Chains A and B, each alone.
Chain A
Amino acid sequence: MLALSRLPGIGEKTATRLTFFLLHAAPEIAKELAAALGDVHERVRLCSVCCTMTEPDPCRLCADPRRDDRIVCVVESVPSQLAIERTGEFRGRYHVLHGVLSPLDGIGPEDLHLRELMVRVAAGLDEIIVATNPSVEGEATALYIQRLARPFGVKVTRIASGVPIGSDLEYADQVTLARALSGRREL
């Protein structure tokens, strides 16, 4: 139970519920889970192309022939990638940095998967969409990528930030609203 509650997003209550479930479910379920967890380090690795977490290499998205090779969306984390993928809007490829530049936390360019990104840039791309979070570090990382990619003549774009679609203006906080206003565009 203690081990479970150490996982992110799982509190004491959830850990207790999961433990009860495993105790009452067929023993195979717990065994399967244990086996899967046991070799997670051997089986799951980073995709050699886009650096997402994957079992097959290259990953499913990198291997999919229907996706557009010329556009790469750069994200800071796997959850960000999943969030964008869920929209169904984006049909290009991804690149996962596993972090953002943060001098205050001692995270420099060499700590991110930028080298792998530059390999892809050098091989030829039309556009890089930088979809890092709109934080100081996320913005700086976007600018950094733009500087790196500039000599290759690749278009670098930044996702807009502001009020999430489908949410009520009334409930958006002032910071988000202010940002959305300053990032407004002509229709």
Chain B
Amino acid sequence: MILRRLETRGFRNLEDQVLDFHEGFNVFEGGNGHGKTNALEALYWIATLTPLRAGKLTELVAFGQSTCLVRAEVELDGLQHRLECGLNGPERVVRREGKATRAAAYFGVLSAILFTPEDAGLLRESPGARRRYLDRAIFTGRSSHLSVVLEHRRALRARNESLRSSSDPHLLEAFEGTLAASGARLVTARRAFVQELSAEFASAYAHVAGSGDGPVLTYEPSLDLDDPEGHALSLAADRARDRDRGFTGRGPHADDLSISLEGHPARTFASQGQQRALVLALKVAEIRRLRTLFDLTPVLLLDDVSSELDGVRNARLFEVLSDFKGQVFVTTTDSSHIKTPRPASVFEVLAGRIRGRPHP
């Protein structure tokens, strides 16, 4: 997939503009606070319908305005597609090929994998951050995973509510049934993903870190049984305890992804540099898995490459990406840090205005 063109209107601090991209590397260069990450966020939003940083969608709208719009022209297998998402006040408008669609029918044209400085903290963050990572990564290859996640979330909230507000055992059983069904689907998808990723992960780490200390990925479920019946049994067994605490204690919403290095949990034992390399290896493995299993080449969005990685690591990142055939977007304060392995376009970002300039 190639993102040929992007148009933004009323988006963050970006000027209303149309950008034509290189099919290889695109470098956004500019000083702090000029809008580089905002440009990446526009790309991420139109690919995933999830903002990159904003807690509330309305934060995407330029100060003092009430609407924003992002449009993309994407080429996939020789066909042109048009994506559009915008905000009309609080209301989100999503279009594909010019027609308003539900989110479920929107995806499938453009997928993106994001690298940000915050990634390095993934191992130290709460299990929730790792579950979100897993679900997002599964979604990148299979967009219907989103509905599994949303359905599970709703079923969980419904069971929690019936725990608190109803004494009807049939009602609790009914929502345990739907929770078990969606929970089992969620766990199955995550387990399969972790297994598929593991195949690529160790070699990606060896590549990134320059040494192969054999890192191991493990999905850590809070329930032992994966099938819907097993889930339902566990929920039934937990009923009294869950009623006391007022929420569902065990299930995929309490699971975790653990990474160990030389037999020790990386979360507590790996150095910062090793943690960074592990997370980078996760992403590289993700990219390879997509290619192997789905023949899919997403666009890569790399935020703030210069600040986070020193010269050597920087060079290694691009070396690791050198066998990547797809399109890459990079932001940096200084494009001389960026030794792209392939031809590139450089865009200057100045106070929200983005202008292409020929690469030296």
Query: Which A residues are within 8 Å of any B CB, using their own CB?
Result: 101-104, 108-109, 136-137, 139-141, 143-144, 147-148, 173-178, 182
Contacts and interface: CB of A to CB of B under 8 A. Distances in A.
Interface stretch (B12-20, B26-34, B157-165): B157-165
Contact of A140 (B144, B158, B166): B158
Contacts of B178: 136, 139-140, 143
Given A139-B181, A173-B105, A178-B144, A104 B174 contact: no
B175 interface: yes
Interface in B16-52: none
Contacts, number: 72
Contacts of B107: 174
The 3 closest A-B pairs by CB, nearest first: A103-B161, A144-B174, A173-B105
11 contacts: A103-B161, A103-B175, A108-B168, A136-B158, A141-B174, A143-B173, A144-B171, A174-B142, A175-B147, A178-B144, A182-B185
Contacts of A174: 104-105, 107-108, 142-144
A103 B168 contact: no
Given A103-B166, A108-B166, A143-B174, A136 B155 contact: yes
Contacts of B144: 174-175, 177-178
Nearest to A177: B144
A143 B182 CA distance: 14
Contacts of B108: 174
Contacts of A175: 104, 144, 146-147
Contact of B154 (A108, A136, A144): A136
Contacts of A147: 170, 173-174
B177 A140 contact: yes
A160 B154 CA distance: 21
A137 B171 CA distance: 11
A99 to B, nearest CB: 14
B151 interface: yes
Contacts of B168: 108-109
Interface of B: 102, 104-105, 107-108, 142-144, 146-147, 151, 154-155, 157-159, 161-162, 165-166, 168, 170-171, 173-175, 177-178, 181-182, 185
A182 B185 CA distance: 10
Contacts of A103: 158-159, 161-162, 165-166, 171, 175
A49 to B, nearest CB: 24
Contacts of A182: 185
Contacts of B173: 143-144, 147
B171 A109 contact: yes
A176 B108 CA distance: 14
Contacts of B182: 136
B242 to A, nearest CB: 14
Nearest to B181: A139
Contacts of B161: 103-104
Contacts of A143: 173-174, 177-178
Contacts of B155: 136, 140
B171 A101 contact: yes
Nearest to A147: B170
Contacts of B143: 174
Nearest to A137: B158
Contacts of A137: 158
